Amino acid sequence: MSAESQEQVIRIGTRRSKLALKQVDLIMAELSAVHPGAKFEVHPIATMGDKDKVTPLPQLGKGLWTNELEAALVQKEVDFIVHCLKDMPTSVPAGCLLGCVTKREDPRDVVIFSARHGDKYKKLADLPAGSVVGTSSVRRAAQLRRWYPGLEFKDVRGNIETRLQKCDDEELGYDCIILAAAGLHRMNYNARIAQYLESGTEGGGMLHAVGQGALGLEVRENDERILSMLKVVEDTPTMMAGFAERSLLRTLEGGCSVPIGVETTWLDGEEEDGGRKLKIVATVVSLDGKRFVDGEMVQEVASLAQADSLGKKLAQDLVDRGAQKILDEINKVRAGPGAVKLGDVTVNATAAPAV
C-alpha cells in the first residue's frame, strides 16, 4: 500500500470567523481532490484581534491576527495555517515559513453605502462634506483623506456581517464603509458593492493593502511533506507579486508600519528566459492625507528573489523622493507615551498602525 493511499491526518490552523472558515473550505476542496488519502482537520483558534473587538486596530499592533496561530504551528498543534496574506506581518517567526500563496481574488477595496440611503449614492464622490466613512484601516483612511478631504472617518470593527449591520444601523451614523472585495466575493455579498476602488478610479481611487485578496499558507520550516502537499494550491504569479509587495512594505517599515498602498500587475508578453515583467505601483501617505509620495517600477521577474528585489528597489525610490519624512514623522509620534494627536488623527505611540 502506498503512503498516499494511507490516511494522513493534516491539521489546519485558522481564525474562527465565517470568512476564515470559508477560506479553509476552499483550500481543503482543492487539496482533497489531489490527495484523497489525506484527512483534513480544521482547528479554529481565537487571535488577539478576534478577542478584542473594542480597541481600534491601529492600537493592537502587529501579529494581532497571527500570533496565536503561529504559536500552535511552532508547537506542532497544527500542520499549516491559512491566513489572509494581508494579515501576515512581513517577517514570520523563526522556524516558520510562508510556504505557499494561492491564486488572488479581486484585491481591490470597495465602497458599501448604508441601506438607509437606498440608491441615492453611487460612488464616494457623491457624498457631501461631513459624511461618515467607516473603516478600521489607517491605510484606507489616509488615502481617502488625500482624495476626499471633506469626509469624516469612524472606526468600525467586526466580521463582514457585523460591519454590514453597523453600516445599516441609522443610530451609528455611517454613510458608508470600506471593505475588501475579496472577502465579500467569497461570502457572496457582491450585491452590496457600490464602487470598486483602484488607482484609476474617477476622483482619485485607492491602492490596496499588501497581499490583499490572496491567501498565505504558513508552514514549519523544512516540513517538506506539507510543503510538497501544498504545491497544488500555489499560484506562482500571485506568490511572486506577493513577495514584491511584502518586500516593499518590509523595507519601508524600518520597525514600524505605515499607511501604504500597492498595486501589482503582470504585463503582457514573456521574456526569452522565461520571465515576465511585473509592474508595481505604491504610495506612502501621511496619516492626515496631506502629504504623499507615489512611485512605480517595472522589472522582469522570474523568481521570488527577483520579486523581492523589485519591492526593495521601489521602496528605496520612495524613500529617496521624500517618503522618509513621512516615516520619520510617524516614528516621532510613536516615540512618546500613550495616544498622540497628529492633525485630526489619533495614533497610539506604542503600537504599529494597521495598514
Q: Which residues are catalytic?
A: 86-87, 139-140, 157, 163, 256
CA distance 261 to 139: 7
Which own/partner pairs from 2-6 qualify as long-range (CB within 8 Å, at least 24 positions apart)? Answer: 3/37, 4/35, 4/37, 5/37, 6/37
C-alpha dihedral (301, 307, 311, 314), degrees to nearest 10: -10
Q: Which residues of 311-340 are buried (b: 16+ CB within 10 A; e: fewer)?
A: bbbbbebbbeeebbebbebbeebbeeeeee
Query: In whole angstroms, how large is the CA radius of gyration of the chain?
Result: 20
Nearest to 64 by CA among 257, 227, 331, 260: 257
How far out from the chain centre does Cα 75 lie?
A: 26
CA distance 80 to 10: 8
Nearest to 187 by CA among 13, 12, 26: 26
- Parallel, antiparallel or unpaired: strands 8-14 and 38-44: parallel
Cell of 199: 488607482
**Helical packing angle, 18-34 and 160-168, nearest 10°:** 150
Distances (CA, A) of 22 to 187, 227, 258: 8, 22, 30
β-bridge mates for residue 293, sequence order: 284
Nearest to 141 by CA among 61, 209, 64: 209
CA distance 213 to 242: 10
